[in-house]
A and B are shown apart, each in its own frame.
Chain A
Amino acid sequence: MNKVVIIDDEPQVRRLLSMVLKSRNYEVHEAEDGPSGLQHIALLRPDAVLLDLGLPAMDGLSVLKRLREWSEVPVLILSVRDEEALKVEALEAGADDYVTKPFGTAELLARLAVIQRRRFTRQNPEITAGNLTLNLLHHEASLAGDRLKLTPTEFSLLHTLAEHAGRIVTFGQIIRRVWPAQLSDQSEALRVHISHLRRKLGTTGPQIINEPAIGYRLIDS
């Protein structure tokens, strides 16, 4: 059974999330603030953490930063709208994804499932996302068996997105991965390459979804 720790200061939100998750066979532990949440995580070694960004006293971002000093546990951020800058900060500080309140249960469960999939030691040099396959050994990509012609930059970009398939990757994270040596602003180049990639992936392959002011998400349709 997967263990989840919920850190949220609203008792009713905790109770409800706990009910929802228990009905999906999660073992749930609740914490009402950052320090006790960190203690729970250290003690219980959960498989995932739901973290509210708007905690009183020690805010969610500080909790996350402290957590990332010693744990790689997948973290899903619960946030409200109009906090894009904060969300980006949390994602770049090591959060795995976010949902925006008020969120649907289906969305929450889907995100939670995806972020738990990520920690695996890759034994084979292939990544798949839907009908897309990336062969890292030969730097080849294929869509439903057909070879995709990609430039090295496009391949690296698709690699970054596919590795995090289903999860949000911030613009900053992508740029640092794809253009590690570039100091100048690459956001325009990023948009251009994304647009090329989208054309090559067409409508049958996984879709690259833009989340305004945050980043891109590869969705395998």
Chain B
Amino acid sequence: MEPNAAARKESDSLALVAQYSGSLAVVFSLAAACRAILPQTGYLFSALMFLMAIVLAGTRWHRGPVILMAILSALTWNFVFLQPQFTFLIQNPGDLAIFALFFIVALSMGHLTSNLRQREDALERHHRERESLLAERHRANLLAESERLHRTLLDSVSHELKTPITIIRTALDGLASPNPYTAEITTATRRLQHIVDNFLGMTRVEADALRPNLNWEELHDVIRAATTPLEEEFRSRPLLISGLDSLPLLKLDSRLLAQALSNILHNAASYSPQGSPVEISAAFLANFLEISVRDHGQGIPDGAENAVFDKFYRGPDVHAGGTGLGLAIARGLVRSMKGDISARNHPDGGACFTIRLPAQAAPLST
């Protein structure tokens, strides 16, 4: 839009210069022509000719050149054609009226045309806006359509992958008698479900299909939602939660945040020894929510503080059954909420992951 407007302005001022010189040229050539035929026509005819030229110019030109033309025409007519010739005297009241008429015509023509031009401009602007709006809508439609397709595909793949897992789980639940073989299948099914969840999660994050849905939430609820699916992992690891009581209600997407937190907690459980605690702490400061998860494992290898969030990154002493996607998904989820995650080693050992998220706090306090 900007360069366009500048170009328009420049061409406008060029046109204005052309019109000013045009008005000079028209007045003098008209004066010369009328002067030549003055004996046959009389001075009133020349006044009409000038007026006609002003009217014609008025339909096309800007107000400035038209008024200049009116002034020049009036003066020229008065000076050249009106008795006494070659003076600016006007003796006859009728001639004075004609003299005034030049200005009246020029001004009213100018007024009419500028109105007309404004209306034209408005129409054109309206037209342009409409077109850009239509183009915008078309683009949005295309985007929505491709998003919808993507989602449909994802949903059907997700359905296809989850149905067999549901069947296996239900069937396993049906095998009532405790049997070492079923225990193995149960573990493997859990693992498979975790992998499927991670792959689908990564696809969702990469498809940019996450639309945060903000609601007033207690962080307490978010942490509960994050830890419920990890009951198994935290059966042998105490979860120590602190800092929640001083938090206000926060406007956030509890589902996305719980999922991100859940992945970080799953990671903490995978890389720390059985029986060691995992600590969650939270604080709200200057419109940012900070949640830290600290484990008592080996910590992050030096220099890998960023790499741990890369897709398929695996720690050096890898546990079987990981996909290397959990933290990448967590980061994607948090970023979709305009926040970020960082990782560092705690000075007293163990890894510490921190989610930092902009969030609105409720004016009502709990």
Contact indicator A196/B215 (Cβ below 8 Å): no
List of A residues within 8 angstroms of B217 by Cβ: 191, 210
B contact face: mostly helix, strand, loop, or mixed: helix
- Is A212 touching B218 in the complex (CB atoms < 8 A)? no
Q: Is B165 an interface residue (CB 8 A)?
A: yes
In the bound complex, do residue B170 and residue A17 qualify as a contact, i.e. CB atoms below 8 Å apart?
Answer: yes
Residues facing A in B236-250 (CB within 8 A) are 249
**16 new A-B contacts at CB < 8 Å, known A20-B173, A209-B224:** A16-B167, A16-B174, A19-B174, A23-B174, A82-B204, A101-B166, A102-B166, A104-B169, A105-B173, A106-B173, A171-B215, A188-B364, A190-B216, A195-B366, A210-B217, A212-B258
Chain B residues closer than 8 Å to A104, beta-carbon distance: 169, 173
Contacts of B171 in A (CB 8 A): 16
Q: Once the chains are docked, how many angstroms separate the CA of A210 from the CA of B197?
A: 22
| Chain B 274-302 per-residue mask, 1 if CB under 8 angstroms from chain A, else 0 | 00000000000000000000000000000
- A interface, by DSSP: helix, strand, loop or mixed? helix
Is B221 an interface residue, CB under 8 A from the partner?
A: yes
Residue among B158, B204, B222 with the highest chain A CB neighbour number at 10 A: B158
Which one, B174, B213, B218, contacts A191 given CB within 8 A? Answer: B218
CB distance from A62 to the nearest CB of B (A): 17
Given the complex, which residues of B lie within 8 Å of A12, measured CB to CB? 163, 167
Residues of B within 8 A of A42 (CB): none
Nearest opposing residue in chain A for B166, CB measure: A102
A102: which of B155, B169, B218 is its contact (CB, 8 Å)? Answer: B169
Does chain B have a CB within 8 A of A189?
yes
Chain B residues positioned under 8 Å from A187 (CB to CB): 215-216
- A13–B167 CA distance with the chains assembled, in angstroms: 6
Q: Size of chain A's interface in residues, with CB distance under 8 A?
A: 34
Instruction: Check A192 against B249 for contact (C-beta < 8 Å).
Output: yes
User: With contacts A13-B166, A16-B171, A196-B366 known, is A213 near B255, CB below 8 A?
Assistant: yes
Q: Is B225 in contact with A10, judged by CB distance below 8 angstroms?
A: no
Residues of B within 8 A of A89 (CB): none
- The answer to whether A210 and B158 have CB atoms under 8 Å apart is no
Q: Counting CB contacts under 8 A, is A92 at the interface?
A: no
Residue of B249, B362, B366 ringed by the most chain A CB atoms within 10 A? B366
Q: Which 9 A-B pairs have the closest CB atoms?
A: A105-B173, A210-B221, A102-B166, A212-B254, A212-B255, A195-B366, A188-B216, A101-B166, A191-B216
List of B residues within 8 angstroms of A17 by Cβ = 170
25 A-B contact pairs sorted by A residue (CB < 8 Å)? A13-B170, A16-B174, A19-B174, A23-B174, A101-B166, A102-B165, A102-B166, A102-B169, A102-B170, A105-B169, A105-B170, A106-B173, A191-B216, A191-B217, A191-B366, A195-B366, A210-B218, A210-B221, A210-B224, A210-B254, A211-B225, A212-B221, A212-B254, A212-B258, A213-B215
B249 engages A191 (CB within 8 Å): yes
Residues of A near B169 (CB, < 8 A) are 102-105
Chain B residue at smallest Cβ distance from A209: B224
Q: Does A72 contact B (CB under 8 A)?
A: no
Which A residues are CB-close (under 8 A) to B235? none
Q: What separation, in Å, do the CA atoms of A41 and B112 have in the docked complex?
A: 76
Q: Does B76 have its Cβ within 8 Å of any Cβ on chain A? A: no
**1/0 contact string of A89-116 vs chain B (CB within 8 Å):** 0000000000001111110000000000
B-chain residues with CB within 8 Å of residue A82 when the two chains form the complex: 158, 204
Q: Which residue of B lies closest to A214 (CB)?
A: B255
Which of chain B's residues have a CB closer than 8 A to the CB of A209? 224
A49-81 with Cβ < 8 A to chain B: 54, 80-81
Q: What chain A residues lie within 8 Å of B362 (beta carbons)?
A: 188, 191-192
Task: Collect the chain B residues with CB atoms within 8 Å of residue A188's CB.
Answer: 216, 249, 362, 364
Tell me the chain B residues, 179-226 only, with Cβ under 8 Å from chain A: 193, 197, 204, 213, 215-218, 221-222, 224-225
Interface 1/0 per residue, A9-41 and B, CB below 8 Å: 010110011011001000000000000000000
